[in-house]
Structures are given as C-alpha cells and as structure tokens.
Amino acid sequence: MSDQQIIDSAEPAAVEEAFVIEARALTKKFGEIDAVRGIDLTIPKGRCIGLLGPNGAGKTTTMRMIMGLTRPTSGSVTVLGEEASRLPRSTRARIGLVPQDNNLDPDLSVRQNLEVFGRYYGLLPAEINERVPQLLDFMQLSQRAKSPVMGLSGGMQRRLILARAVIGNPDLIILDEPTTGLDPQARVMIWRQLLVLKNQAKTLLLTTHYMDEAERLCDDIVLIDNGRILDQGTPRELIRRHVKPQVIEIRKPLPRHLPLSQTEDLGDSVLLFVDDAEAVIRGMPAETSFQHRPANLEDVFLRLTGRQLREN
C-alpha cells in the first residue's frame, strides 16, 4: 500500500489500515514556543509504542494532536484512517484515552464514572452491566465501586481512568503518563494491566518517564526532546546504536589508565561505557568504588541529550 493510499481517507471503507496512527511533519506553535517541530510517526496495528522524553519535550502536545484535541500548526495526522481533528463518532469509539491529568467526575462514584463512559461509547445497558464489574475486578477496584472518586488514592484514580478508557473495548489506547507520580506498587499494577491489553493485540501509544518499564513493555521507543524525534527503534536497537553494552559507574576521583572513549560525567561519578567490563574492572585499583551493569535506555537518552530523563 502506498503512502498516498493511507493518507487519502476519501474512501475509508476501501483503505486497509496498515497504520493505526500516521503523523507527517507535525508541528505545533504556542505563540513563540515551538512545542513540536516536525514529528513523523507511523504506528502499525498491535504495537506498543513508548514516547519518551523529559518534561517539556512535546509529548503531550504530540498526543493531543493525535487525539484531535489540539490542531497542528502544520502537518497532518490520521488515526484509524481518519483525520485526527475530524474523527467520526464511530472511530472515536474505537479509541481509549488516558489523559495526563485526572479528569474523572468527582461527583460520581467509581462505578458511575464507568457507566457514564459506557453510555458515551454506545454500549447497551446489558453490556454496561456486564462490563463494569469485569473492569472493576480487572483494575482491582471492586471494593471501591460505590466510593466517590474524591476519596480515591492517586493510584486508584489512574486505574479507574484506565478502566474507563477500555470500557468500549477500543482497538487503540493512548496513555499520557499513566504512571507518573504513583508509588512503585501502584505503578507495577498499572504496567501489568497494560501488558494484558498488549497481549490482547491492542495498539498502545504511551508516554512515560520510567525507562526501565518502557524497556520491558514497549516494542518500539520514540525518544523526543525539544519537539523533535532524536531516534526511534526497539530498546535493543537504540542501545546497540548509541552506547557500548556495558556500563561501569565509578565514583570520583577516577583511577588512571581507564578507557575513556565513551563517558558521561554525572558530577560525583562518571559512567564509563565499555565492550568488556571485566577487563576494565580487573585493571582498576582495589579501592575503586564502582557499580557495573548492562547499558539501558536511560544511558541512550543521556548520550543523546546530555540530560537525565527523570527531571520531575
């Protein structure tokens, strides 16, 4: 299928959706601020894509353009074969959204929040009655079904928003920082549910600050900063492309005679990227204080931007 066929949504019935999301040269200006400076993104069906970048990188703006909530300054974006800013209701019903900010209805109970969305997605009352208890169970919220939303912890609210996003059994789920600010346990629980959704062949697009988790869940990672894509690929590809496989973090002062071809200075310590960590460690004085680990995505990001991702 040619690009033109995919972009052209004049005959949607005839177009097989090769890409669930297709963004071309997307830009967004807010006054003087270039929030997004030309993003191209194609997301095939059934993939889990992680959009990673520090605060202010342009992740939310990109997602809001994909969701049709913000109009691009230039460029185009189609979702499920339709232009994002003009999604027909039938297409909208196939998309589940988890916005960055909790936007639950505080006056309604947990169960009522789900019921309202079930109706919004066009489910029949019988379907709602079947689906709501299943989702409450799936997100471990059954005990809180009658609680007002205001009384829920942050983790519970995020789980409820995720339940709400999937009540219509969407094909595509877009999640903006589903786990930011949660304690590790709550985070693990959400990521576990995302894995279940992924195994149901849903297409997932998410942003996160947590590289380790993204590395485990996402098929592809898109690293963005300053409104631009720095690089994209599988976590392994990105690591192989940008850093040596082993990292030795050494506390300063550094011993002499280290191979300093690839390093990052962290202030009181230095990351040393090497092919053969054992050999380097054998050559270091016994009193050297160091840690040794495989290279990860966070290292890639640090190499590409000179910044650490977790800035919040």
Ligand X SMILES: Nc1ncnc2c1ncn2[C@@H]1O[C@H](COP(=O)(O)OP(=O)(O)O)[C@@H](O)[C@H]1O
Which residues sit at the interface with Mg ion, rule CB under 5 A?
Answer: 59-60, 100
Our finding on whether 59 is near ligand X (CB under 6 A) is: yes
User: CA 229 to CA 307: how far, in whole Å?
Assistant: 15
One residue of 33, 124, 196, 260 binding ligand X per CB under 6 A: 33
Question: Judged by CB, which is closer to ligand X: 27, or 246?
Answer: 27
Give the shortest CB-141-to-ligand X separation in angstroms.
Answer: 27
Answer with the entry of ligand X, Mg ion, none that 30 interacts with (C-beta below 5 to 8 A by kind).
ligand X
**Judged by CB under 6 A, which of 21, 23, 26, 35 binds ligand X?**
35
Q: Any contact of residue 57 with ligand X (CB under 6 A)?
A: yes
**71 lies in the binding site for ligand X (CB under 6 A):** no
Binding of residue 53 to ligand X (CB under 6 A): yes
Q: Cβ of 4: how many Cβ atoms within 10 Å? A: 7
Segment near ligand X (CB under 6 A); pick from 58-66, 91-99, 145-153, 281-289: 58-66
CB of 239 to ligand X, least distance (A): 22
Q: How far is CA 88 from CA 98, 117, 234, 250, in A?
A: 19, 17, 32, 56
Contact residue for ligand X among 3, 5, 25, 30 (CB under 6 A):
30
CB 225 to ligand X: min, Å: 9
Q: Is 181 in the site for ligand X (CB under 6 A)?
A: no
- Least separation in angstroms between residue 185's CB and ligand X is 25
Q: Are 81 and 7 in contact (CB under 8 A)?
A: no
Which of Mg ion, ligand X, none does 53 bind, CB closer than 5 to 8 A by kind? ligand X
Among 8-16, 48-56, 241-249, 260-268, the segment contacting ligand X (CB under 6 A)? 48-56
∠ CA(135), CA(124), CA(115), 5° rounding? 45
Interaction residues for ligand X, span 196-225 (CB under 6 A): none
Q: Alpha-carbon distance 301 to 239, whole Å?
A: 9
81 near ligand X (CB under 6 A): no
- Residue 71, judged by CB atoms within 10 A of its CB (0-12, 13-18, 19+), counts as exposed
Residue 38 near ligand X by CB under 6 A = no
Q: According to the binding rule CB under 6 A, does residue 99 interact with ligand X?
A: no
Does 178 interact with ligand X (rule: CB under 6 A)?
A: no
Contact 310, 271 (CB under 8 A): no
Least CB distance from residue 53 to ligand X, whole Å? 5
Does residue 61 interact with ligand X by CB under 6 A?
yes
- Output the six-digit token pair for 217: 């869940």
Alpha-carbon 63 to chain mean position: 10
Number of residues that bind ligand X (CB under 6 A): 11
Q: In what order do the strands lie in the sheet with 74-79?
A: 33-44, 19-30, 74-79, 82-83
Q: How many CB atoms lie within 10 A of CB 26?
A: 24
Q: Provide the binding-site residues for ligand X, judged by CB under 6 A.
A: 30, 33, 35, 53, 55-61
